[in-house]
Structure 1
């Protein structure tokens, strides 16, 4: 059994500096920040924080958005921000094709340490509390690290398909 090194916490004002440093690390690497509920493009941390908080409640959403909870994955011992994970409470048509129930990212300086596998495992536990019986996780076919993370959490490949020039993989994880 793996020893837990991470915990999932809701974003709060006290994490502003950590979140902005996280975003800067992705920007410097010219990388996409998956599972961060728009942190990459937020006008300010406060605006992002309000959006993340409102995003949990269906009556506060606009457009075709669905309720979702965003967590920061921080180390248990030092509260260091390692990654961010977003759990969608249900799927709309878009998420059934691209995105799935869970999106996540790990900062480059913390990769290849098993954090993504642990983060996804913790997110799957949260899915259980939301009453999600099975979780859909998607990734680009050439994202071998993400596919390995999903498989490490018992993901079963359902299908692979082409979307706008990119091969996408659909994995399902049973939560019962």
Structure 2
């Protein structure tokens, strides 16, 4: 199927104006075969991110064409056959050295680790710039995109999909609304990092970005982690938030574990927590974990059900003296 044929079919079936702008392209890589391998990862749902060199746009004087939220693309294979339609839902620019682990995971390549992503993309971006006077280094700006698959010929995609993103000002209104609803309901901000004490959304977003920055020095607790927002694709509403810890403090090791999460009060009881925890577990596999620990209050039946539905096995009940609470600890094999 050609790009125009696929686009026309997509527009007809999804009620999209056929005159809506889109780009048609195939994924680039070091090897020619990478185009097909990466497209296949998209079709399997394993790849929902990509990256490009900001300097290339500068070099070609086309910065007005930098990808943005809402952009459609028709993905091509190595034979220029159209395989699917995707749509960007998050775009940001960071120095190469600051690109966080979740973006590497989103690209779906290799073991999905940040190390693998850096190794492959160092070679790729050097190749992209080797015919220019622009050097590639840790400060080189990278355009990071997250996208959803909108259409695959002959397949029925799920109607209710969750998108996962790192906090950014692209989701400023949703973060603020989530925080206010949690406050109004006097709900616990589990998995929200410092959202409760930070009414300024930009301060909160910057705090989350820095926490996940792989180049930052260890803080006084020695911990690194990632805040992930769960966004419902149908209306782009933030329905949940979670902290995923890839380096644990002693408190985390002994009591609270690798993952904390919450669902906004008006969206509870819809199965979102189960899907969020499943995503967190899969993400943690990219760090090489074979087992993770997660805890909940003994009286929190909903959280306990979520953990068990993801394969959790009870370990023990511990008393967290600092908070004067008992916690049930569970382990999940990856």
TM norm structure 2: 0.50
Q: CA deviation at 1:5?
A: 2.2
**Contact 1:85–1:104 at 8 Å: present in 2 too?**
yes
2:323 corresponds to 1:167: no
Q: From 52, 55, 58, give the equivalent of 2:208.
A: 52
1:18 aligns with 2:169: no
Q: Which residue of 2 aligns with 1:104?
A: 261
Q: Does the 8 Å contact 2:164/2:229 carry over to 1?
A: yes
Contact 1:34 1:105 in 2 (8 A): yes
Task: Give the secondary-structure state (helix, strand or coil) at the position aligned to 1:146.
Answer: helix
Who is 1:69 aligned against?
Answer: 226
Counterpart Cα distance in 1 of 2:220 and 2:172: 27
- Residue 41 of structure 1 aligns to a residue whose secondary structure is coil
Rg (Cα) greater in structure: 2
CA distance in structure 2 between the aligned counterparts of 1:61 and 1:113, rounded to whole angstroms: 37
Q: Distance in 2 between matches of 1:160 and 1:117?
A: 22
Q: Residues 60 and 79 of structure 1: is their aligned pair in 2 closer, same or farther, counting only changes over 3 Å?
A: farther
1:62 and 1:93 mapped to 2: Cα distance? 13
Separation in 2, partners of 1:120, 1:64 = 24
Q: Deviations over 1:26-51 (max 9, x none)?
A: 11111111111111111511111111
Give the CA deviation at 1:61: 4.0
Change (3 A) 1:99 1:4: farther
Moved more, 156-165 or 134-143: 156-165
Deviation at 1:108?
0.5
Q: How big is each residue's C-alpha offset from its partner over 1:94-115, in whole Å with a ceiling of 9 and x where there is no partner? A: 1012321001000000000100
TM superposition shift of 1:135: 1.1
CA distance in 1 between partners of 2:291 and 2:215 (Å): 21
Partner of 2:173, secondary structure, is helix
Task: Please give the alpha-carbon distance, in whole angstroms, between the structure 2 residues aligned to 1:58 and 1:120.
Answer: 26
1:38 counterpart = 2:194: yes
Aligned partner of 1:86 in structure 2 is: 243
What is the number of residues matched between the two proteins? 174
CA RMSD of aligned residues (A): 1.7
Give the alignment's TM-score, normalised by structure 1.
0.92
SS of residue in 2 equivalent to 1:19: helix
> Which residue matches 1:125?
282
Q: 1:141 to 1:3 in 2, by over 3 A?
A: farther
Distance 2:308 2:159 in 1: 19
In structure 2, list runs of 5 or more residues that go unmatched. Answer: 1-157
Q: Does 1:149 align with 2:306?
A: yes
User: CA separation of 1:59/1:151 partners in 2, compared to 1, >3 Å: closer, same or farther?
Assistant: same
Per-residue deviation, 1:4: 6.3
